[in-house]
């Protein structure tokens, strides 16, 4: 609720204008049966056609004002809804970008996507509907009751007696509805997760003939959304028919009581006609209110889900820390765990001087990427500290840290744009700088063949080979001439010759850049100033190639496996 109020506040004036018009239009609607009753009971008995016509014209006028008023008010309502949700989406999107990786891990990406899409859509519908019929329906009920009271207080008594019963039913059912709709949204998260995994993994799924399994998995998730939806809707569906029955029962009572009163001469036929019209108007308005409440239950669940993300605290703020630490990059007894259980990195220490390079070698799951993520301050260390040029990483903002880094991560992506823009990604770099970066990344040749910097990159870079993609990503990392460079397994799709050429260029042109090269292949890291061998988050060895060959059995084993050379120990 807090969220909704916050976002409609700037539009209160426009909403008030819309509501005023709606109010006038609705009152006009309400007047119609009243005028009709007047014509039947008072004007027609006079036996003169002219006043009947005049009263008829008045009815037409009222109908026209009601019609135009409704159109104007509805348009204004959609405008307010559109503007408010535009801001909600904007703010939510921005907020998602300030979330720390830990917060994203906990919220999960599919859930963030569904909050950004279906939840904001629910909210949009609610804000629109609230103004369109949320105002009209209560006016129709209250106004209808007042008019019926003036028409015939005895008959109105029947109506009034029924309202509290209906209110109790509506409250009871909507109380049950809100949690059911919250559950439905959670099932929606699952659905999006499955679709996302399937779409992004479509090649693997086909290659491994997993299509049938995946269809089954999707069927199950789809069915659970279906079940959650039908459970929620079944609960809410009791509402309308129940209301209908109560009001129809009322209608029967009114006709019976009305007939008796007309016979007794206490009231006119016109009044009864008008009364029945009001009864129908009130019935419909009450039904609409129950519909709004369904919608409200659903949107409130959505609003809560959006609010949850908006309320997440900003993690990774800069803190006061002691200066110190040697070299350009130093890890001092760093220990870290994602789930704060088993450490994913344990007691890691090394120091790199400016311009030095560190190779990291180890099996998958050893913690190599985790080390890079800590260095970028995607997460804070649990124990020990990391320093960058003598400053504790925790005393710097993530933006400050990341601007001095060039990185290629394993799952980095190219965007649907030109090759040039994919390398530039918003930075102020000249075409020459881009071209140089492409040359250094061994990409210039194929980029020229594709048509240069302005050549397009298709969605998911489908017009590029794996090796070409990697080289563009490397060019992107090199283009800013960064102080620090991290290449995470980014030479895996390069042939040996290109990989060697890349390493040579790095040595020659980026002598001042302190770099970390993560690799599976010994050949990619053997010339680094230091090599860190990781296994299960622990450092199994640190030193030059020669040193490790001498005193690190794991390194020797990997080397032997990959080169086929037997090494004398
Ligand atoms: P490597 O890069 O050496 O293959 P990683 O650093 O990616 O290894 O992973 C090290 C360990 O941390 C693995 O066991 C992996 O499952 C776990 N891990 C990686 N990322 C996350 C994450 N975001 N949340 C929880 N665990 C993670």
Its domain, for residue 186, covers 2-310
pLDDT tens digit at each of 569 positions of the chain = 788 888 888 899 999 999 899 999 999 988 888 898 889 888 888 888 899 999 999 999 999 999 999 899 999 999 999 999 999 999 999 999 888 888 998 888 888 998 999 899 999 999 998 888 888 888 998 998 898 888 888 888 887 888 788 778 877 877 777 788 888 888 888 888 888 777 777 777 777 777 788 888 888 989 999 999 898 888 877 777 887 788 788 888 888 888 888 888 888 888 888 888 888 888 788 878 877 877 887 788 889 989 999 998 887 777 777 777 778 999 999 999 998 888 999 999 999 999 999 999 988 889 999 999 999 998 889 999 999 998 898 898 888 888 889 999 887 888 888 999 999 888 888 989 999 999 999 998 889 998 888 988 888 888 888 889 989 999 999 998 899 999 988 777 778 788 888 888 888 899 899 999 998 888 888 889 999 999 999 999 999 999 999 999 999 988 888 887 655 55
Residues 297 and 376 in one domain: no
Structure confidence at residue 161 (pLDDT): 84
Under 8 Å between Cβ of 314 and 98 = yes
Ligand 1 center–CA 409 separation, angstroms: 13
Structure confidence at residue 485 (pLDDT): 93
Domain termination residue (choose one: 310, 339, 361):
310
Residues 130 and 184 in one domain: yes
State the Cα–Cα distance between residues 123 and 128, nearest whole angstrom. 9
Nearest residue (CA) to ligand 1, atom 6:
367
Structure confidence at residue 543 (pLDDT): 92
Give domain status of residue 355, yes or no.
Answer: yes
Structure confidence at residue 567 (pLDDT): 57
Q: What are phi and psi of 484, to 5 degrees?
A: -125, 145
Give domain status of residue 66, yes or no.
Answer: yes
Structure confidence at residue 458 (pLDDT): 87
Residues 301 and 335 in one domain: no
Residues 124 and 47 in one domain: yes
Q: Categorise residue 210: left if φ over 0, alpha if ψ from -120 to 50, beta otherwise.
A: alpha
pTM: 0.70
Give domain status of residue 183, yes or no.
Answer: yes
Nearest residue (CA) to ligand 1, atom 20:
370
**Mutational pocket test of ligand 1: of 101, 338, 532, the residue with most ligand atoms within 8 Å of the beta carbon:** 338
Q: Which residues 6+ apart lie within 8 Å of 402 measured at CB?
A: 376, 377
Ligand 1 center–CA 365 separation, angstroms: 6
Q: How many domains does the chain have?
A: 2
State the Cα–Cα distance between residues 346 and 132, nearest whole angstrom. 60
Structure confidence at residue 150 (pLDDT): 87
Cα distance between the two ends of the chain: 71
Structure confidence at residue 64 (pLDDT): 93
Percentages (nearest 5) of helix, strand, coil residues in the chain: 70, 10, 20
**In 3D, which of 393, 389, 500, 399 has the Cα closest to residue 442?**
500
**In 3D, which of 465, 526, 516 has the Cα closest to residue 494?**
465
Q: Cα dist. 387→328, 384, 391 in Å?
A: 8, 10, 5
Structure confidence at residue 566 (pLDDT): 59
Ligand 1 center–CA 488 separation, angstroms: 13
Residues 278 and 405 in one domain: no
Residues 66 and 152 in one domain: yes
Residues 305 and 334 in one domain: no
CATH code of 183's domain:
1.20.1560.10
Structure confidence at residue 297 (pLDDT): 77
Residue with tokens 């040749």: 445
Which residues surround ligand 1 with Cβ inside 6 Å?
A: 105, 338, 344, 362, 364-370
Residues 136 and 204 in one domain: yes
**Mutational pocket test of ligand 1: of 344, 374, 489, 558, the residue with most ligand atoms within 8 Å of the beta carbon:** 344
Concatenate the DSSP letters of all residues of 321-373 into one string.
Answer: ------SSEEEEEEEE-SSSSS-SEEEEEEEE-TT-EEEEE--TTSSHHHHHH
Nearest residue (CA) to ligand 1, atom 23:
105
Structure confidence at residue 568 (pLDDT): 53
Q: What are phi and psi of 349, to 5 degrees?
A: -135, 135
Give domain status of residue 321, yes or no.
Answer: no
Ligand 1 center–CA 10 separation, angstroms: 45
Residues 185 and 255 in one domain: yes
Give domain status of residue 318, yes or no.
Answer: no
Q: Cα dist. 440→103, 465, 481 in Å?
A: 36, 18, 11
Structure confidence at residue 507 (pLDDT): 87
Give domain status of residue 316, yes or no.
Answer: no
Q: Categorise residue 536: left if φ over 0, alpha if ψ from -120 to 50, beta otherwise.
A: left
Ligand 1 center–CA 8 separation, angstroms: 43
Domain termination residue (choose one: 310, 343, 374):
310
Ligand 1 center–CA 368 separation, angstroms: 8
Residues 294 and 235 in one domain: yes
CATH code of 419's domain:
3.40.50.300
């Amino acid at each position: 609720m807090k969220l909704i109020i916050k976002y409609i506040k700037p539009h209160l004036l426009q909403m008030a204008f819309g509501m005023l018009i709606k109010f006038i239009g609705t009152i006009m609607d309400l007047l119609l049966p009243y005028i009709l009753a007047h014509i039947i009971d008072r004007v027609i008995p006079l036996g003169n056609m002219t006043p009947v016509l005049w009263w008829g014209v008045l009815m037409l006028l009222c109908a026209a004002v009601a019609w135009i008023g409704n159109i104007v008010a509805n348009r204004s309502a959609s405008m307010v809804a559109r503007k408010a949700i535009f801001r909600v989406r904007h703010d939510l999107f921005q907020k998602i970008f300030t979330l720390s990786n830990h917060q994203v891990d906990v919220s999960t990406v599919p859930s963030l996507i569904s909050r950004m899409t279906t939840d904001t859509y629910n909210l949009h519908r609610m804000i629109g509907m609230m103004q369109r019929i949320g105002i009209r329906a209560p006016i129709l009920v209250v106004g209808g009751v007042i008019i019926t009271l003036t028409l015939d207080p005895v008959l109105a008594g029947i109506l009034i007696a029924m309202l509290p019963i209906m209110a109790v039913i509506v409250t009871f059912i909507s109380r049950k509805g809100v949690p059911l709709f919250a559950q439905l949204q959670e099932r929606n998260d699952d659905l999006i997760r499955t679709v996302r995994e399937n779409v992004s993994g479509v090649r693997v799924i086909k290659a491994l003939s997993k299509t049938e399994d995946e269809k089954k998995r999707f069927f199950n998730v789809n069915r659970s959304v279906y079940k959650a939806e039908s459970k929620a809707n079944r609960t809410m569906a009791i509402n309308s028919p129940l209301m209908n029955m109560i009001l129809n029962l009322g209608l029967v009572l009114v006709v019976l009581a009305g007939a008796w009163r007309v016979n007794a001469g206490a009231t006119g036929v016109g009044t009864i006609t008008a009364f029945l019209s009001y009864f129908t108007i009130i019935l419909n308005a009450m039904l609409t209110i129950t519909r709004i409440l369904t919608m409200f239950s659903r949107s409130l669940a959505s609003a809560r889900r959006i609010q949850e993300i908006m309320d997440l605290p900003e993690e990774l703020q800069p803190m006061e820390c002691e200066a110190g630490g040697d070299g350009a990059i130093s890890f001092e007894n760093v220990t870290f765990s994602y789930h704060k259980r088993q450490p994913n990195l344990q007691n890691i220490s090394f120091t790199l001087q400016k311009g030095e390079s560190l190779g990291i070698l180890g099996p998958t799951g050893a913690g190599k990427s985790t080390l890079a993520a800590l260095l970028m301050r995607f997460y804070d260390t649990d124990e020990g500290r990391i320093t960058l040029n003598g400053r504790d990483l925790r005393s710097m903002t993530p933006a400050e840290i990341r601007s001095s880094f060039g990185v290629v991560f394993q799952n980095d992506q190219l965007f649907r744009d030109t090759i040039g823009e994919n390398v530039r990604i918003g930075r102020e770099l000249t075409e020459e700088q881009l071209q140089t970066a492409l040359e250094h990344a061994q990409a210039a040749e194929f980029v020229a063949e594709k048509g240069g910097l302005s050549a397009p990159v298709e969605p998911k870079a489908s017009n590029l080979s794996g090796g070409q993609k990697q080289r563009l990503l490397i060019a992107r990392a090199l283009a800013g001439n960064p102080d620090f460079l991290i290449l995470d397994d980014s030479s895996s799709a390069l042939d040996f010759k290109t990989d060697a050429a890349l390493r040579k260029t790095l040595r020659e042109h980026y002598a001042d850049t302190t770099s970390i090269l993560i690799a599976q292949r010994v050949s990619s890291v053997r010339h680094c100033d230091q090599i860190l061998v990781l296994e299960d988050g622990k450092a199994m060895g640190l030193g030059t190639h020669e040193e490790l060959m001498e005193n690190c059995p794991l390194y020797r084993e990997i080397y032997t496996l990959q080169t086929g050379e037997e090494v004398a120990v």
